[in-house]
């Protein structure tokens, strides 16, 4: 399975995480297995698939930073924070 990560897919993964996790949080209870499965499915899997990608070859030389990956990680984090900040700012 080959998934190519782009800034757009990273942003969508961040938005998905920030919208889905608060909705399932109250339903997880005290069972540790529920928390592990929830974080794997809602945070780790989308982050790995759509920020890092599957089946990619290293494009940078040894000892250098992968700036495209760093940008995708930053986009993922910002896009996960923005919806939460907007929801906190809206009066409900």
pTM, rounded to two decimals: 0.81
Q: What is the mean pLDDT of residues 46-51?
A: 91
Q: What is the mean pLDDT of residues 5-20?
A: 93
Average pLDDT over the chain, rounded to whole? 88
Question: What count of other Cβ atoms lies within 10 Å of the Cβ of residue 50?
Answer: 23
pLDDT at 45: 92
pLDDT at 63: 74
DSSP letter at 64 equals S
pLDDT at 56: 62
Q: What is the mean pLDDT of residues 76-89?
A: 92
């Amino acid at each position: 399975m080959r998934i190519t990560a782009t800034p757009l897919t990273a942003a969508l993964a961040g938005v998905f995480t920030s919208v889905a996790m608060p909705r399932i949080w109250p339903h997880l209870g005290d069972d540790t297995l529920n928390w592990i499965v929830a974080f794997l499915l809602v945070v780790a899997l989308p982050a790995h698939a759509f920020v890092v990608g599957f089946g990619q070859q290293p494009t940078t030389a040894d000892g250098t930073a992968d700036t495209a990956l760093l940008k995708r990680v930053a986009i993922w984090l910002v896009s996960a924070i923005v919806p939460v900040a907007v929801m906190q700012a809206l009066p409900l």
